A = this chain, B = another copy of it.
Amino acid sequence: MTPPATNPLARGVTSAAMAPEPTNAAATPVATRERLLEAAGEVFASRGFHDATVREICARAEANIASVNYHFGDKAQLYSAVFQFCKSLTKSDDVQMSQMTSLPAVDRVRGFVAWYMTMLFDTSRPAWAWQLFAREMVDPTPALDHMVETVIRPRMHFLQDAIREIVGPNVPDERVNNCIGSIMGQCLLYKHSLPVVTRLYPDMKFDSAQAVHLASHIADFSLAGLEAIRDQFNSKPRSWRERLCPKERAKRIDSSRKGGKS
Task: Please classify the interface of chain A as helix (H, G, I), strand (E, B), loop, or mixed, using the class held by over half of its residues.
Answer: helix
A55 close to chain B: CB less than 8 A: no
A225 close to chain B: CB less than 8 A: yes
- A74 CB to nearest chain B CB (Å): 20
Within the complex, which residue of B115, B177, B192, B217 is in contact with A192, where a contact is CB–CB below 8 Å? B192
Give chain B residues whose Cβ lies under 8 Å from the Cβ of A221. Answer: 178-179, 182, 222, 225-226, 228-229
Number of residues of chain A lying within 8 A (CB) of chain B: 72
Can you report 26 A-B residue pairs in the complex whose CB atoms are below 8 A from each other?
A: A50-B50, A107-B262, A114-B261, A137-B192, A138-B138, A138-B193, A140-B195, A145-B199, A148-B200, A156-B200, A178-B221, A179-B217, A181-B214, A182-B186, A182-B217, A185-B188, A185-B189, A186-B186, A188-B193, A216-B255, A216-B260, A219-B255, A220-B229, A224-B228, A240-B241, A240-B244
Within 8 A of B (CB), among A157-206: 175, 177-179, 181-182, 184-190, 192-193, 195-197, 199-201
A110 touches B255 (CB 8 A): yes
| Pairs A-B, 10 closest by C-beta atoms | A185-B189, A224-B228, A221-B225, A107-B262, A114-B261, A140-B195, A240-B240, A185-B186, A185-B185, A148-B199
Q: How many copies, total?
A: 2
Within the complex, which residue of B144, B181, B190, B222 is in contact with A189, where a contact is CB–CB below 8 Å? B181
Contact pattern, A 117-149, Cβ under 8 Å of B = 1, otherwise 0: 000000000000000000001101000110010
